[in-house]
Amino acid sequence: MPEWEGLGVAPDILRALGDQGFSKPTPIQSLSIPPALLYHRDIIGAAETGSGKTLAFGIPIIQHIEAYKKRKAEQSPSDKESDLESQGYPLLALIMAPTRELALQVKDHLVKAAKYTSVKVAAIVGGMAAPKQQRLLKQRPEIVVATPGRLWELISQQEEHVSNIQLLRYLVIDEADRMVEQGHYEELSSILELIHLKKSGNMEVDQEDAERPSNSSKTPEKARLQKFIFSATLTLPKSFKKRGREKTVSKGELLASLMDKIHLERKRSKVIDVTSSRGTVETLTEAKITCTKEDKDVYLYYFLLKYPGRTLVFANTIDCVRRLTSILRLVQLNPLPLHASMQQRQRLKNLDRFKASNTGLLLATDVAARGLDIANIEHVIHYQVPKDPEVYVHRSGRTARASHEGLSVVLVGPEDLAHYRKTMKTLNNGEDLGSFPVDVSYLPGIRNRLSIARQIDKEELKVSKKKSSNSWILNSAKAMDIEVDEDLLEDLGDSHDQKVQRTKLAHLKASLNKQLKSPLVPLGFSGKYPTKTGKLVMPGIQGQCPDDESPRAVTDVTRNKKRKKR
């Protein structure tokens, strides 16, 4: 692996990279690793999603810590060396990420890269049992990956390992632009203040220098904190309204603001920007579907039936994700929801199930937009246009990773137009995206299915809400040992009314199941298509291709563009 060796990467880490099939570094890795590893420069890195940012900061940190541990072992007598190993090392590297899923993913990447070293890595995130994470910290991992909320909670509780940060040598802020946004992550500000307070004055003396004999002629040096700041949208211009007027903040102003917030010294920092002017990778194909708000379900269902590859659908709200999950389950798809209101265990379980299926379908809020590295996501669907162009970049970056092709499709309704135009102005010089090709002859059949599914969902949701409300009132009254006034309870009807309701739902479900068992066919078509093998097949949306070859969405978009150019 000569290209890695040329960056100064140690043999133990090279071996781990080889195990993972990383034969050569990506551009962000090639430009970041030498100055960080050889010259201890602070790094501000901007690179498209899927470009290998984690290893760009992970390799220098792991290699430096491994060298530090070996140096300490060589300086210690044999009996003290064993004590050092048993007692563990202080916290040397802190990596902060905005979401639990991203933090756990970063930890997994670093564990693999450190496979043949003695460096220990742990993840500290919310939503997981605090005692378990405290047990992890008692093992004294040199690298901790954390979300700011849980980390600050443990620091406030004076947990020994994370509170002892005066010897911290490396600080990483992943997805930094989001982490320092005003109104977000107040804990991050508190953590940064604490780090810089404890790293100032006498607290900043390097451990090696602190242990130097008092008669040593060398004056103790302050241990400098090396910082790594990374994001995919770090250098995108931002626009916002101030006093009714739209204001745009330039790339230079953004960087200056970020450096001030994180206490970066300009002369020590190296800015590395390998993003394109659009912010998305060249292997990403983008398209839009213009429709009414009511028809978004129709076009989404059409796409999922025709192109069954691994697909990630983004919505702006948890309620929207819940509604889509219910509707798509009724039409016998297998959607997996992912949003902030779910328990962490269920979120991780759904992610694992999504990764394990080549036709997986994940419905998510923007909790999944940043940093998640899931292999071979073929399609990203923006069911609702995000308010911020940066979020569009991060969402779309879940596909077309590591030089693979991918497709991003935006469903644009009248309510989305302002945000869509803002995104195109920021990323595409105001140019519109091409339209995604849709065979509209299938849409009437799809509308019929979804109309019944919506009726079922509406009826079930109405009953569910009433039962949930009653359950809450009854449980609260029981806890307070008081009687409940029946007028406070939702009316579920008598036994006859409930039987009528159940019968109505049963008829609707039977009608829907009957439609689902029949293939969707183009409006006005009767008969079968002959294939090249002579076999007759119904022209259903999922079985219309010869030899059972599933159509590729990217290919259809490209073919449609070529037709329009003729």
Rg (CA), the chain: 28
Phi, psi torsion values for 284, nearest 5 degrees: -90, 130
Residues 6+ apart with CB under 8 A from 461: 326
pLDDT of 336 reads 97
Residues 501-527 have pLDDT tens digits of 899 999 999 999 999 998 887 765 555
Judge whether residue 204 has pLDDT over 70: no
Q: Which two tokens stand for residue 398?
A: 């879940």
Mean pLDDT, to the nearest integer, of 362-374?
Answer: 84
Q: Where are the domains of the chain?
A: 2-73+88-197+224-240+252-273, 284-441, 444-517
Under the banding of pLDDT at 50, 70 and 90, the label for residue 494 is confident
Q: How much is the pTM? A: 0.71
Q: How far apart are CA 67 and CA 89, in angstroms?
A: 13
**Which contacts qualify for 426-430: CB closer than 8 Å, 24 or more apart?**
426/236, 426/237, 426/239, 426/389, 427/236, 427/278, 427/279, 427/280, 427/389, 427/392, 427/393, 428/278
Taking the CA of residue 278 as centre, how many other CA atoms within 13 Å lie in the half-sphere pointing to its CB?
15
Quick one: pLDDT band at residue 238, thresholds 50, 70, 90? low
Name beta bridge partners: 170: 93, 226
- pLDDT at res. 295: 96
Using a pLDDT cut of 90, give the percent of the chain over it: 49
Buried b (16+ CB within 10 A) or exposed e, 276-286: eebbbbebbbb
C-alpha pair distances (Å), 548 with each of 541, 544, 553? 12, 8, 15
Give the residue-averaged pLDDT of 292-315: 95
Q: How far apart are CA 564 and CA 434, in angstroms?
A: 10
Determine the distance from the C-alpha atom of residue 317 to the mean position of all C-alpha atoms in its chain, rounded to a whole number: 16
Lowest-confidence pick of 19-33, 431-445, 466-480: 466-480
pLDDT tens-digit profile of 70-95? 998 888 766 555 555 667 899 999 99
C-beta neighbour count of 1 within 10 angstroms: 15
**How far, in Å, CA of 49 to CA of 129, rounded?**
30
The pLDDT of residue 104 is 93
User: Comparing 48-62, 239-253, 454-468, 493-507, which segment has the lowest mean pLDDT?
Assistant: 239-253
Same fold flag, 2-73+88-197+224-240+252-273 and 284-441:
yes
User: In 3-state terms, what secondary structure has residue 270?
Assistant: strand
Q: Which of 449, 14, 368, 354 is nearest to 175 (CA)?
A: 368
What are 284's strand-pairing partners?
406
Which of the pair, 563 or 67, is modelled with greater confidence? 67
Contacts of 52 (CB under 8 A, 6+ apart): 25, 26, 28, 29, 402
* HEC assignment per residue over 508-526: HHHHHHHHHHCCCCCCCCC
pLDDT for residue 427: 84
Q: How far apart are the first and last CA of the chain?
A: 46
> How far apart are alpha carbons 21 and 304 in whole angstroms?
32
Q: Measured on CA atoms in the order 399, 60, 180, 166, is the torsion positive or negative? A: positive
HSE (side-chain half, CA atoms, 13 Å) at 213: 4
At 20-53, the pLDDT tens digits run 999 999 999 999 999 999 999 999 998 877 788 9
- Predicted local confidence at residue 85, as pLDDT: 60
Are 233 and 390 spatial neighbours (Cβ–Cβ below 8 Å)?
yes
DSSP 8-state class, residue 437: P
One of 3.40.50.300, 3.30.499.10, 3.40.50.920, 1.20.1260.10 is the CATH number of 2-73+88-197+224-240+252-273, namely: 3.40.50.300
Mean pLDDT in the chain? 83
Can you give the pLDDT at residue 483? 86
- For residue 352, name the pLDDT band (cuts at 50, 70, 90): very high
> What is the pLDDT, as a whole number, of residue 496?
84
Percent of the chain with pLDDT strictly greater than 70:
82
Band (228; pLDDT cuts 50, 70, 90): very high
CATH of span 284-441: 3.40.50.300
What b/e sequence results for 322-351 when a residue is b if at least 16 CB atoms lie within 10 Å of its CB, and e otherwise? bbbbbbbebbebebbbbbeebeeeebbebb
Q: How confident is the model at residue 151 (pLDDT cuts 50, 70, 90)?
A: very high
pLDDT band of 55, cuts 50, 70, 90: very high
pLDDT of residue 535: 47
Q: How many other CB atoms are found less than 10 A from the CB of residue 73?
A: 15
Report the pLDDT value the prediction gives residue 66, as an integer from 0 to 100.
96
pLDDT at 213 over 70: no
What pLDDT score does 323 carry?
96
Q: Does 529 score more than 50 pLDDT?
A: no
- Sequence-separated (6 or more) residues with CB below 8 Å from residue 130: 153, 154
Query: pLDDT tens digit string along 530-562?
Result: 444 444 444 456 544 444 456 688 888 877 776
For strands 238-242 and 245-249, give the pairing.
antiparallel
Q: Among 212-221, 345-354, 370-379, where is mean pLDDT lowest?
A: 212-221
**pLDDT band with cut points at 50, 70 and 90 for residue 257:** confident
Four-CA torsion 537, 540, 541, 546, nearest 10 degrees: 0
- Section 458-464 average pLDDT: 90
